[in-house]
Amino acid sequence: MDTTLSAPIGQLLDGRYLVESQLARGGMATVYLGRDVRLDRAVALKIAHPELARDPEFTRRFIGEARAVARLSSPNVVAVFDQGTTGDINYIAMEYVPGPTLRELLNARGRLGPREALDVIEGVLAGLAAAHEAGIIHRDVKPENVLLGTGAAVKVADFGLARAAAGLRNTKTGLLIGTAAYLAPEQVSSSSSDERSDVYAAGVMLFEMLTGSQPHTGDTPLAVAYKHVNAVVPAPSSLVPELPSALDALVALATSRDPELRPPDAGHYLQAIAQVRRGMPLTPPRRGAHAAPPDPGDAFPIHQAGNATTFSLASTGRISGPGGGGGAGEYPSGPAAAGGANNTMIVPAGGPGDHGPYPPRQSRGYREPFLQRWLFSRRIIAVLAVVVIAAAAWWLTSGQYFSVPRVVKLPVASAAAELKAAGLLVTVGKPRNSDSVAKGDVLATYPGIGARVKHGATVTIIPSQGPVLVSVPNVTGQQLQAAEQALRSAGLTPGTTSSRASAGVPSGVVVTTIPAPFTQWPKDKPVQIVVSAGPPLPDFTGQQLSQAQATAATGGYNIDPEPVAKSSEPANTILRQQPQAGTPISAGEVVIVWISPGPPEVPVPNVTGENEHQAIQQLVQAGFTVSVQGGTFGQRVTSYSPTGQAPKGSQITIVVGFGL
């Protein structure tokens, strides 16, 4: 189908509606965000695709449905403001709802809680009830067509296109359009639909909201439709065991395969939900053993005749591809919102007067009283009795009790909020000291964590005051044994003992404590004691051996010299030591030092009789330093010492004068 629209963004329709941006696109229409320039408000503009708009029958139904929905006055129906035609463009101006669809919410959350699911389905049924009262059947109830506005607003959308398209397809090919996952059995088997078909789809949606999955799935839409005809919708509690049995009964009531056993319209189904909500303990969730839910097939039997469960397709039956869906969903944008997904089902319709296994519906002028049709049925009464008895037994034995939540070690404010949310009253008791729970957190509760209490019971929170704190006494300068006794007398526990060198504290005397003296410290937390290991070992590097030996004799320890093979340092110079400088040293210990043997000896040049200047030059070149004694500069060397050999780098003394 050519879905190219002749209404580009930016066009002004009928001089009033400015097309601003596309919101959603389906197989039969595209929804745009527009602005009513006359009233200066946002609107949603649904524009039929040109190929459909050129069909007179489709156009007639499209306009007729828009007018019918425009007459509805319900906060749960997307309002229709206007309808118009500009050239080959058929459009409907509708209320713009900026919130997400129910499908988007389920995709994000998976499933909803019972209370939230019933809130949503009540909004849907309120909108459908207004439509049913006005003689309008939706025919394509699904999460994509349920919009969730601001606050708790629930609005049903897309009343018009599905019926208009169905009329067009029936006129031309005898086919019926619907979404396979939500098709009522009669829509598949006989192409008939009425208010009870919308009720069936609402029951399937309730199942999906409670369980997070659709009741019937398959590889193809055809397989899904076949299951709707031949299999009952399972109880929600078969997938989520904690769901109450009353929810099973609500789903079974709406999804009976026999339409005569369903509520006759959305209004009656809404009444049934309201009755159950008034008597069903939705919170807290069911705990303990789960009572077996009623069998939907037994509770709401299906009266079938002949080949009522036979599902067959003529050779013309087919499954539409993308874009063959039931019209554009009502914004926001996205493939699901736009409709036309692969789960759209097209099956052959029956011939005139062929209603399949289901008898034709009575005219709208007379409707059998709802209570006579199902509430006072013997089977319904039996099921409701079982549900009431099971609910009462559950409530008396376990439903009214639940365990105190685990709030230990949470901040008091957070714990109180959690207990109140669970339906309990909260008081705060006198704080107690604790070594394991931080100050301000919950130390305990009365009744204790996990204790079984009734809703509304009072739970007392005991805050932690933190550990008992004691001031650490100053034991610096005491012997170790005396320091330990002083700590015990203060109510503290002596911990491990460590040692470190101290120049001013004798060995074995307490230097400090960890923590430091006068610190407020938990009573049961050990205090570490640090004692002196004596003065630190000096750094002997660069000193002469004799100097180090004198220092060691004063400290009561010994020096063990070890000469190295060679060194340019003067003889007996200490090059390194073990232990390292700063290490605690005790009397009697031995310190190893490595000493230099002195630089190697080299021949001293004979400079007697040499000019002073020449003598100095020769000695320096040989690796010596020179000291001059005697006459004035320039005289000759009369003598020098030492002679022969001397350590390289040592000093040679020369004497100059007039002797030679």
C-beta separation of 225 from 185 below 8 A: no
Indicate whether 389 and 476 sit together in one domain: no
Task: Report the half-sphere exposure of 617 (CA within 13 A, side-chain side).
Answer: 6
Indicate whether 101 and 117 sit together in one domain: yes
Distance of alpha carbon 80 from alpha carbon 66, whole angstroms:
7
State the Cα angle at 491 between 488 and 493, rounded to 5°.
55
For residue 520, being part of any structural domain is answered with: yes
SS3 assignment for 117-129: HHHHHHHHHHHHH
Indicate whether 337 and 405 sit together in one domain: no
* 568-612 pLDDT tens trace: 788 889 999 998 888 887 778 899 999 988 888 889 899 888 888
Indicate whether 562 and 496 sit together in one domain: no
For residue 364, being part of any structural domain is answered with: no
Indicate whether 285 and 258 sit together in one domain: yes
For residue 537, being part of any structural domain is answered with: no
pLDDT score, position 632: 67
- Single-letter amino acid code for the residue at 416: A
pLDDT score, position 99: 82
Indicate whether 32 and 174 sit together in one domain: yes
Tokens for 516, please give them: 């430091």
pLDDT score, position 630: 79
pLDDT score, position 250: 92
pLDDT score, position 526: 92
Indicate whether 439 and 481 sit together in one domain: no
For residue 292, being part of any structural domain is answered with: yes
Task: Tell me phi and psi for residue 159, to 5 degrees.
Answer: -80, -30
- CATH code, 229: 1.10.510.10
For residue 539, being part of any structural domain is answered with: no
- CATH code, 504: 3.30.10.20
Find, among 612, 623, 628, the residue nearest to 646 by Cα.
Answer: 623
C-beta separation of 278 from 232 below 8 A: no
For residue 224, being part of any structural domain is answered with: yes
Task: Tell me phi and psi for residue 543, to 5 degrees.
Answer: -85, 160
pLDDT score, position 267: 93
Tokens for 488, please give them: 């015990």
Number of domains the chain is built from = 5
pLDDT score, position 173: 38
- Which residues fall within 8 angstroms of residue 425, CB to CB, at 6 or more apart? 456, 457, 458, 459
Question: Which of the listed residues 507, 532, 557 is the one where a domain comes to its end?
Answer: 532
Annotated catalytic sites, by residue?
A: 140
What's the DSSP call for residue 570?
P
pTM for the model: 0.45
Distance of alpha carbon 45 from alpha carbon 93, whole angstroms:
5
Indicate whether 496 and 574 sit together in one domain: no
Q: Which domain holds residue 512?
A: 469-532
The kind and range of the H/E element at 217 are none
Measured in whole angstroms, the distance separating CA 508 from the mean position of its chain's CA atoms is 58
Distance of alpha carbon 487 from alpha carbon 532, whole angstroms:
18
First to last CA, the chain: 132
Distance of alpha carbon 377 from alpha carbon 260, whole angstroms:
12
Indicate whether 524 and 375 sit together in one domain: no
- Which residues fall within 8 angstroms of residue 365, CB to CB, at 6 or more apart? none
pLDDT score, position 343: 39
Indicate whether 564 and 524 sit together in one domain: no
For residue 391, being part of any structural domain is answered with: yes
Task: Tell me phi and psi for residue 56, to 5 degrees.
Answer: -60, -40
What's the DSSP call for residue 631?
S
CA distances for 417 relative to 234, 292, 413, 414, angstroms: 38, 34, 6, 5
Distance of alpha carbon 10 from alpha carbon 20, whole angstroms:
6
Strands 469-471 and 601-603: unpaired
Indicate whether 329 and 406 sit together in one domain: no
Tokens for 228, please give them: 């709707």
SS3 assignment for 292-326: CCCCHHHHCCCCCCCCCCCCCCCCCCECCCCCCCC
Indicate whether 26 and 76 sit together in one domain: yes
Tokens for 481, please give them: 């044994």
pLDDT score, position 609: 87
pLDDT score, position 269: 93
- Give the three-state DSSP class for 427: strand
Describe the strand order of the beta sheet including 590-595 as a list of residue ranges.
Answer: 558-563, 590-595, 574-578
For residue 226, being part of any structural domain is answered with: yes
- Which residues fall within 8 angstroms of residue 558, CB to CB, at 6 or more apart? 552, 588, 589, 590, 591
Which parts of the chain register pLDDT below 50? 1-5, 161-162, 164-177, 280-369, 371-372, 374-376, 660
Strands 651-657 and 625-630: parallel
Distance of alpha carbon 385 from alpha carbon 260, whole angstroms:
22
CA distances for 489 relative to 467, 472, 483, angstroms: 18, 11, 10
